[in-house]
C-alpha cells in the first residue's frame, strides 16, 4: 500500500494540489488513480 501511495505522489504529482476546493482535489485524485490503473492494465496486457 505504501509503495502505491509513493508512486501516486512521486510519479503522478499527487503530492501537490493543482486546483482549489474539494471538488478540484477529488477530480485530481480520480484522474491520478485512473492514470495509474491504466498504466498497470497496459503493463499486464
Find the domain containing 11 and state its range: 2-44
State pTM to two decimals.
Answer: 0.73
Report the distance separating Cα 7 and Cα 23, nearest Å. Answer: 23
The helix or strand, by DSSP H or E, that contains position 12, with its residue range, turns out to be none
Report the distance separating Cα 39 and Cα 21, nearest Å. Answer: 27
Report the distance separating Cα 15 and Cα 5, nearest Å. Answer: 10
Rg of the chain on CA atoms, in Å: 11
pLDDT for residue 5 = 78
pLDDT for residue 44 = 94
Report the distance separating Cα 26 and Cα 13, nearest Å. Answer: 14
7-43: pLDDT as tens digits: 888 887 877 888 889 999 899 889 988 998 999 999 9
pLDDT for residue 8 = 82
> What's the total number of domains in the chain?
1
pLDDT for residue 43 = 92
Asked if residue 24 lies in contact with residue 18, where contact means CB atoms within 8 angstroms, the answer is: yes
Amino acid at each position: 500500500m505504501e509503495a502505491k501511495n509513493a508512486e501516486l505522489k512521486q510519479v503522478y504529482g499527487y503530492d501537490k494540489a493543482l486546483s482549489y476546493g474539494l471538488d478540484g482535489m477529488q477530480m485530481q485524485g480520480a484522474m491520478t488513480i485512473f492514470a495509474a490503473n491504466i498504466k498497470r492494465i497496459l503493463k499486464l496486457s
